[in-house]
Amino acid sequence: MSSPKDVLKTYWGYDDFRSNQEAIINRVLKNKDTIALLPTGGGKSLCYQLPALLSEGCTLVISPLISLMQDQVEQMNTKGIKSMMLNNSQAMNIQLDNCLFGNFKLLYCSPEKALSKEFLSRIKKLNIKRIAVDEAHCISDWGNDFRPAFKQINKIRSLLPSLPILAVTATATPKVLEDIIESLQLKQTSLFQDSFARKNIEINTLNTEDKQRTLIKILSKNKHSGIVYCGSRRETEQITKLLQLNRISSAYFHGGRSASERKELLQDWQSEKIKIMVATNAFGMGIDKEEVVTVIHLNLPSSIENFYQEIGRAGRNGMPAKAYLLIQENDKNRIRQQYIGSLPNREFIELCFKNLCNYLNIAYGEGNELTHNISLKDFCKTYSLNSKKTLSTLTYLEQEGIFNLMQYNKKKAVVRFLISQAQTLELLENQTVDSKVIQTIIRTHHFNYDKRFELDIERIIRSSQITFKTLMDTLRKWENDGNLELEFNQTDIQIQWLVPREDQYTLAPLLQRLVHYNKVKKEKIETMINYAFDTERCKHNQILNYFGEKNKEKCGSCNAKECDLK
């Protein structure tokens, strides 16, 4: 049997483990309950992926992050480690049959899927030998992203009492750790905890009247990879234009970009073709790039947990790195309006839920297992809803296990030519941009001239080397000239429904928890504000104290007055 180090080298290409990884893996291989509290970049996923490869049977990985699970499944299969994820694209019984007979080493699913009646009824036959609970802080209602379904994972243990559990997280206060142990009913568990200290990261909080000017000043001296976090999609695009005008290699990344665009941007950034990624907080999860030297926040994050995770994407190679939080006095009111002002109340949740069901034509008792793509802008416009409050409400409904919510960008264009093939070819004799676009459509699609067909937008853009705007301008021009019919839709949210619509039964439990949910959110925001504007105390020690790690020694590498760095 291969040793953990041999497997690490063969499949991951590393000679040695990081910090507590080897000790955690050895305990997991002994089938003991374990908690791994490792910081961002600490290699949490390896602690269940590698043991799965060295063990008989399958490891069940329960996670709230759909996109991260998809990425991990793809990565594992690329390495030759058979992995799958339960989703809504196929009947559950078929997927479970595949798992049973397919010799999969890793089975990923959301807590709601793991707690479904069909899954629980078959779990004893699935040859599951271990459970890994990722993002385990979601178990606690004092955690940063509480998911009530996590508190019921112990139902699985009641069916399989001897099944060992590994709980992993990057951000957990002492109270959250207590909740994890209690809720998962961990027995004689061992806690492996790395220090939250990131001594190689210099934290600077800069109070500036002109954030953009300060940003340019910082990045003009920077020749290495970095991330600039912004508060909105629009701001990422504006800041990228500003950086490019100042000859700073950059690009923007947010959920509104297509999957192929995001994949290409990530590759360009990881290969150093792009130096600075300007992004919303959608960027960074699951990304392990060691050479990031600078992380800059132009806006206050919504919690210490988020701030700590995001600055932790710098300096993963152990080399010196810098984090900057740019602040202004009006940021206090801005973050309160952005987050506290958009927190849902009982009336808005009931209204939003009812409108969503009507918008999607979901009748009473229906909806379970269905997937819908919608435009948030169109939904809010239809029912005159505030978009920020609506998104906050949808996020809360997701956390409560009503549905999975994925923000993404999907453009769908369906066309039908109104002229004959001969007339079309005659128009294409002129060598214009329009001709190039239409020729690409004809060359890359099989269709009848009198039938509607959907365009492969990404393929057209790639083949003809044009922008999306040029494609749409051409199609709309041909539509206005009477040459074709065009139907275009753009969706930015995908909802995977997890429960049937039963208004009172569905909403009653989550409405009872709403007061506590809003209280926790408000406290985290106020703590973030206090942290940002406290110029006296060591920035590192404030973070350590927040996570229950007592440290009296000043870091000497932040710009707080007591560290006297500047």
Which of 407, 352, 415, 344 is closest to 374 using CA atoms? 407
Q: Are 493 and 256 in contact (CB under 8 A)?
A: no
The arithmetic mean of pLDDT across residues 224-232, rounded, is 93
pLDDT given for residue 566 in this prediction:
46
Decide: helix, strand or coil at residue 152: helix
The arithmetic mean of pLDDT across residues 71-88, rounded, is 90
What is the C-alpha to C-alpha distance for residues 102 and 152, in angstroms, rounded to an integer? 28
SS (H, E, C) 368-391: CCCEEEECHHHHHHHHCCCHHHHH
The arithmetic mean of pLDDT across residues 506-517, rounded, is 87
Please check the confidence at residue 396 and state whether its pLDDT lies above 50. yes
Model confidence at 84, pLDDT cuts 50, 70, 90, reads very high
Sheet holding 292-297, edge to edge: 201-207, 321-327, 292-297, 225-229, 276-279, 250-253
Which of 321, 328, 297, 352 is closest to 506 using CA atoms? 352
Please check the confidence at residue 31 and state whether its pLDDT lies above 90. yes
For residue 193, the cross-strand partners are 37
Q: Which residues, 6+ apart, have CB-to-CB distance to 430 below 8 Å?
A: none
pLDDT given for residue 65 in this prediction:
82
Please check the confidence at residue 35 and state whether its pLDDT lies above 90. yes
- Identify the residue with better confidence: 221 or 5: 5
What is the C-alpha to C-alpha distance for residues 373 and 218, in angstroms, rounded to an integer? 40
pLDDT given for residue 217 in this prediction:
94
pLDDT given for residue 1 in this prediction:
59
Please check the confidence at residue 409 and state whether its pLDDT lies above 80. no
Please check the confidence at residue 449 and state whether its pLDDT lies above 90. no
pLDDT in tens, 337-356: 888 888 889 999 999 999 99
| Share above pLDDT 90 across residues of the chain, in percent, rounded to a whole number | 39
Decide: helix, strand or coil at residue 395: helix
Q: How far apart are the first and last CA of the chain?
A: 55
Residue 166: exposure state from Cβ atoms within 10 A (0-12, 13-18, ≥19):
buried
Count CB neighbours of 217 within 10 A.
12
Model confidence at 564, pLDDT cuts 50, 70, 90, reads low
pTM metric for this prediction: 0.79
Pick the most confident of 400-404, 462-466, 487-491: 400-404
pLDDT given for residue 158 in this prediction:
86
pLDDT given for residue 523 in this prediction:
93
pLDDT in tens, 196-206: 888 899 999 99
The arithmetic mean of pLDDT across residues 457-476, rounded, is 84
Distances (CA, A) of 215 to 40, 298, 485: 24, 8, 46
The arithmetic mean of pLDDT across residues 87-100, rounded, is 85
The arithmetic mean of pLDDT across residues 221-236, rounded, is 90
pLDDT in tens, 260-311: 788 888 889 989 999 999 999 878 766 778 889 999 999 999 999 999 989 9
Q: Are 515 and 455 in contact (CB under 8 A)?
A: no
Which of 344, 346, 365 is closest to 509 using CA atoms? 346
Task: Provide the H-helix boundaries in 185-293.
Answer: 211-220, 233-245, 259-270
**Domains, the chain, with CATH or none:** 4-193 (3.40.50.300), 201-328+534-546 (3.40.50.300), 337-409+493-520 (1.10.10), 419-482 (no CATH)
Mean pLDDT of the residues in the chain: 88
Model confidence at 554, pLDDT cuts 50, 70, 90, reads confident
DSSP state of 123: G
What are the CB-based long-range contacts (under 8 Å, 24+) for 152-155? 152/111, 152/115, 153/62, 153/111, 153/114, 153/115, 153/183, 153/184, 154/183, 154/184, 154/185, 155/115, 155/120
Q: Are 32 and 130 in contact (CB under 8 A)?
A: no
The arithmetic mean of pLDDT across residues 224-234, rounded, is 92
| Share above pLDDT 70 across residues of the chain, in percent, rounded to a whole number | 98
Please check the confidence at residue 140 and state whether its pLDDT lies above 60. yes
pLDDT given for residue 410 in this prediction:
74
pLDDT given for residue 212 in this prediction:
95
- Identify the residue with better confidence: 128 or 555: 128
pLDDT given for residue 246 in this prediction:
94
For residue 276, the cross-strand partners are 226, 250
Which of 125, 67, 87, 524 is closest to 336 using CA atoms? 524
